Structure 1
Amino acid sequence: MSGFAYQVTAAGKAIKAEIKDALKARSGLVWVHLNTNNEHAQDWLANTAKLDDYLVEALTATETRPRCEQFGDGALINLRGRSDDELSSSDPLASVRIWAVKGRVISITRKKLTAIDHVEDCVKEGRVRDPGDLITEFATAITADLDPDVADLGDDLDECETQLSPDKVFELRHTVTRVRAQSIGYRRFLAPQRTALEKLATLPVEWLGDDDRTHLSAAADRAARMAEELESIRERSALMHEALTDLRAEQIDQRGLIISIVAMIFLPLTFLTGLYGMNVRGLWLADQPWAFDAIIGICVLTAVSVTTYFVRQHWLRG
């Protein structure tokens, strides 16, 4: 079972501790973080941390969505953030499950969050003194870490819009599809995350101070802004995809028109040459020595006539 633990004094001094002994501290803040999904974590939560079965199940569940629930004087919080580990396109954000009561915070991740390092640094620097401070750092770090990714998605889409042309249809479709899929995956979790943070900011628990509630509300507003931006990116991606589809259809139509025109030009020529390719008597000019030149001239004249007709009808302009 991998992870780490800290005991934080009332003055903010953080002391790293063994996970098995961390909960023995009687004062200050204890933070235990587990980066695991095995049965040892469930055993530790049930037998060492003495958590109820429904809390153990919630903290170790395979599938989670952002949420916040109060149980007595404690709170169960699920949040989603970026991870450097490989994730599926349908589930692009890793989860962190947090149980917080006065003087104690237990967090669990199945995939390592990139925000964890920032939160740990805040603890080491003495900026965390109670559960409210720690959860606030989690919420702030996760939203701040996601913000540049959301902005990059918008920038990628802006670049695609400026490069929109028939010559780059395949390249742009690949980028637009990626941006759209990623924006949908992010928004799937950011919308409920905003609700979870807003609910957490209003919980009537004594370990959340006024400054913590203010910071949580700010993180919720930031999550809301990102969710709105992602919805805009999703809609723009859909419109961009339609524009690329139209360009592709126009390309196919133009090429099909050119092929049809070439076929129409050669159709009478093919008929004429096929007719004179028959090995029968009675063909016009068949016995004349200049017959070949005459047939060639007729073919050229026919091709020029058909082409001129198409030009006058503006068919060659697509």
Structure 2
Amino acid sequence: MSGFAYVVKDGKVEQPTMRAALGQNGGLTWIHLTTNDERAQLWLSGEAKLSPYVIDSLTATETRPRCDAVGDGAVINLRGLSSEATTASDPLASIRIYAMGGCVFSVTRKHLSALQAVREEVESHKILDPGDLIAAFAQAITEELDPVVAELGDSLDDCEEQISGHRAFELRRMVNKVRVQAIGYRRFLNPQRAAIEKLAGLPGDWLRDDDRLHLSAAADRAARMAEEVESIRERAALTHETLTDLRGELLDQRSLVIAIVAMVFLPLTFLTGLLGMNVDGIPYAHEPWAFWGVVGVCLAMALGITGHFLRRHWFE
């Protein structure tokens, strides 16, 4: 288990040990744990003396964005980008936050990209209370996600512009990848928007008016991203269907060409097989012009059959 602590008081920012940070009054005390084992539960219960409900919320294995009022504080779960490997179904790392009065506890299981940006804001004296800290997390997470969602839309735009029968196979894989990513983000963006909106409306002195405004702005941005992801998912589904139809049409065209070629050569194969029998009585077998005569007949038959297919528009 690893972690850090900040104490912001009287305009000063200190970084004591996590144990020393406990019990600090006034300003902001932020204690962060990075862990995926049971030692966090033991520390939070033994040292921090948090309630079992809060500890379970902070250390749960699987979480979705949410916000629950707990006494005079709140438990908030948010999701953001991570530099660690993630799965398509779970593409975002979680941060679990418990805020009460002037104290904030946070826990991450995977590295959260927005964490460093928030730490820099704390160290530069831009964050003075728990409301500022949570609003900073909400804003940093949505700011990082925004260009990623926009890039998904741009990728889908490129695929739609390049749709053609010749590239249907390649584009189908690209569109499917965009669709899977959009579904993964969609699972968390909608509940995250609802969680931030609920947090902005919670009663409590530890959330000031400017904090609520920042949270509302982050919620609006999350809502816009959720709508964009939903639009991308629907567009990807339609594009995937279009590419599937193009793929089927391309296969039908190739099958038609193969069938026409086979039909052209079928009578020629019959003729050459008939004349190639090793028996007596084949007409003109000993004539010097017989070979070229058979070649001419075969060419005439091939041209005649091909012309018939052209007149019937079988190649269109």
Distance in 2 of aligned mates of 1:211 and 1:104 = 19
1:17 aligned counterpart, secondary structure:
coil
Residue 193 of structure 1 deviates from its aligned partner by 0.5
Corresponding residue for residue 223 of structure 1: 222
Distance in 1 of aligned mates of 2:224 and 2:159 = 23
Corresponding residue for residue 254 of structure 1: 253
Distance in 1 of aligned mates of 2:288 and 2:162 = 61
- Structure 1 letter corresponding to 2:6: Y
Q: Deviation per CA, 1:192-218, whole angstroms, max 9, x where unpaired?
A: 011111111111122111111111111
Corresponding residue for residue 71 of structure 2: 72
Corresponding residue for residue 81 of structure 1: 80
Residue 252 of structure 1 deviates from its aligned partner by 1.1
Distance in 2 of aligned mates of 1:293 and 1:135 = 90
Corresponding residue for residue 40 of structure 2: 41
- Structure 1 letter corresponding to 2:167: K
Distance in 2 of aligned mates of 1:156 and 1:277 = 60
Distance in 2 of aligned mates of 1:150 and 1:257 = 42
Residue 86 of structure 1 deviates from its aligned partner by 0.7
Corresponding residue for residue 204 of structure 1: 203
Distance in 2 of aligned mates of 1:175 and 1:294 = 55
Residue 113 of structure 1 deviates from its aligned partner by 0.9
Corresponding residue for residue 3 of structure 1: 3
- Structure 2 letter corresponding to 1:119: V
Please give the TM-score of this superposition, normalised by the length of structure 2: 0.96
Corresponding residue for residue 119 of structure 2: 120
Residue 121 of structure 2 is aligned to residue 107 of structure 1: no
Residue 298 of structure 1 deviates from its aligned partner by 1.6
Residue 187 of structure 1 deviates from its aligned partner by 1.0
Residue 57 of structure 1 deviates from its aligned partner by 1.4
- Structure 2 letter corresponding to 1:64: T
2:15 aligned counterpart, secondary structure:
strand
Distance in 1 of aligned mates of 2:289 and 2:159 = 61
Residue 261 of structure 1 deviates from its aligned partner by 1.0
Q: Deviation per CA, 1:128-179, whole angstroms, max 9, x where unpaired?
A: 1111111111111111111110111111111112222222223322221121
The answer (yes or no) to whether the contact 1:77–1:196 under 8 Å persists in 2 is yes
Corresponding residue for residue 283 of structure 1: 282
Distance in 1 of aligned mates of 2:219 and 2:95 = 16
The answer (yes or no) to whether the contact 1:12–1:127 under 8 Å persists in 2 is no
- Structure 1 letter corresponding to 2:20: D
1:6/1:213 CA distance change after superposition, 3 Å = same
1:20 aligned counterpart, secondary structure:
helix
Residue 30 of structure 2 is aligned to residue 31 of structure 1: yes
1:187 aligned counterpart, secondary structure:
helix
Residue 282 of structure 1 deviates from its aligned partner by 3.4
Identity of aligned residues (%): 60
Distance in 1 of aligned mates of 2:49 and 2:97 = 15
Please give the TM-score of this superposition, normalised by the length of structure 1: 0.96
The answer (yes or no) to whether the contact 1:12–1:128 under 8 Å persists in 2 is no
Residue 157 of structure 2 is aligned to residue 150 of structure 1: no
Corresponding residue for residue 303 of structure 2: 304
Q: Deviation per CA, 1:21-78, whole angstroms, max 9, x where unpaired?
A: 2113233211001111112211111101101112111111110000000111110000
Distance in 2 of aligned mates of 1:3 and 1:112 = 12
Distance in 2 of aligned mates of 1:12 and 1:173 = 56
Distance in 1 of aligned mates of 2:26 and 2:216 = 28
Residue 20 of structure 1 deviates from its aligned partner by 2.0
Distance in 2 of aligned mates of 1:166 and 1:296 = 37
- Structure 2 letter corresponding to 1:99: Y
Corresponding residue for residue 159 of structure 2: 160
Distance in 1 of aligned mates of 2:173 and 2:28 = 49
Corresponding residue for residue 314 of structure 2: 315
The answer (yes or no) to whether the contact 1:13–1:124 under 8 Å persists in 2 is no
